Amino acid sequence: MELSLNTRQVGVYSVLEVGGEIDVYTAPALRDQLVELADSGASKIVVDLEGVEFLDSTGLGVLVGALKRAQASGGILRLVSSQERILKIFRITGLEQVFGIAASVQQATSGQNE
């Protein structure tokens, strides 16, 4: 399956909507998009995973790398997912403690927890 990436602004947040599968084949495109957002000056990034059907360890690595880049520059990176199959991956790996994971884009961009 293909990976779809769409960026939009919600207030001061750059929201990257991701759809499809994030795996070893598609993760480089996700990484490139996240780096491009950061390089363009986006300091508050929300990655909306609601449209993601599959996420593997390569995809997790890309998200962790993006989080580290954001934190190193004083920025914020949050994830959005309400899908149990995606949330389970973050719980199993312990990454739910590392990422701010919101149930909706509205929740992620509300400015809470900053």
Q: What are the boundaries of each domain within the chain?
A: 3-108
pLDDT at 103 > cutoff 60: yes
Phi, psi of 14 (to 5 degrees): -95, 120
Q: What percent of the chain has pLDDT above 70?
A: 96
Phi, psi of 22 (to 5 degrees): -105, 105
Q: The whole model's pTM is what?
A: 0.94
Q: Which class is 3-108 in CATH?
A: alpha beta
